[in-house]
Amino acid sequence: MSTNYGTIARNGIWDNNVVFGQLLALCPLLAVTGTATNGLGMGLASTAVMIGSGFAVSVLRKIITPEIRIPAFVLLIATLVTVVDLAMNAWLHDLHKMLGLFIPLIVTNCAILGRAESFASRQSPLAASFDGLMMGLGFTLALVALGAVREILGSGTLFANAALLLGPSFGFLEITVIPDYQGFLLLILPPGGFIALGVLLALKAMVDSRSRAGGQRVENPQVEKVFTAAGVLSRDAQAGEQA
C-alpha cells in the first residue's frame, strides 16, 4: 500500500492538527502554556511518545489480537510515557517539576491512542513513526503558539527561563519582546488560555476559508471553459441537424 508522506505531514501539522483540527488534549494545552517554554517542553515529550507508540503499535499489529488491541495500545503508551517521565526527571528536572502531573497524564491524550488505532495499526513502522512525528510537531506548534501569545501579552517575554528549564543550549530563545512591560495577568491565568485559544482557532478558520475560496477562484475558469466548450458543441450539433 502506497503512502503519501506529504499528505501525512500536512494532516499532522495543519489540516488534522491535534488541537486546531481535532480539539483534543485541551487540558494540558490550557494548563501548561503559561509560557512558550513550558509548551515546547510538553510538546517535545508528547512527540517522543507519539513516535514511539506509532512505531511499537505498527511492529506489533500482527501479534496483538483485535479483542485486546485497545488495552494493549494503552499499555504500550503508558510504558513509553513512564520512560519519558523518568528521563525528564533525570535530565530536565526543573522542567519536570514545572510540568508536574501533566507528563504522566500524556497517557490519557486521546490523540495518541486515536492515531495508534486509526493509523499505526494499519501502516508500516516507517509510515506510523512519521505520522507520530508530524502529529507531535503539530501538537508542539499549537502548544508553543498558544504559550507565546499568552506569554508575550501577559508578561512581555518569550521563552522565559528556557536555559533553566530546557538546558543552557536553549538560552538563545529567551527574548524580552516588550521592555518595561507591567504585564496583563488575565492572559497568564486559565481564562486567558481560553481567550487566546479562541483567537487562534478563529485565525486558522479564517486562513482555511480564504484558502478554499482561493482554490475555487482558480478552478472556476476551468469550469467555465468546459461549459463554454459544451455550449459550442451543442450549437454545432443543432446546426447539423437543421442542415
pLDDT at 235 > cutoff 90: no
Does the pLDDT of residue 9 top 80, yes or no?
yes
**CA 119 vs CA 50, 129, 137, 180: distances in Å:** 12, 10, 17, 49
Q: For 104-128, how does the pLDDT look when each residue is reduced to its tens digit (9 = 90+)?
A: 999 989 899 999 999 999 999 999 9
Q: Taking 50 as the threshold, does the pLDDT of residue 223 lie above it?
A: no
| pLDDT (mean) for 174-181 | 93
pLDDT digits (tens, 9 = 90+) for 55-106: 999 999 999 999 999 999 999 999 999 999 999 999 999 999 999 889 999 9
Instruction: State the pLDDT confidence band at 38, using cuts at 50, 70 and 90.
Output: very high
pTM for the predicted model, two decimal places: 0.85
C-alpha cell at 209: 476559508
Would the pLDDT of 43 be above 80?
A: yes
159: left (phi over 0), alpha (psi -120 to 50) or beta: left
Task: State residue 142's pLDDT score.
Answer: 96
CB atoms inside a 10 Å sphere around CB 155: 21
Residues 188 and 202: their CA atoms lie apart, in Å, by 20
* Mean of pLDDT over the chain: 88
Please provide the DSSP assignment of 182-238 as one string: ---HHHHSHHHHHHHHHHHHHHHHHHHHHHHHHHHHHHHHHHHHHHHHHHHHHHHHH
Mean local confidence (pLDDT), 135-149: 96
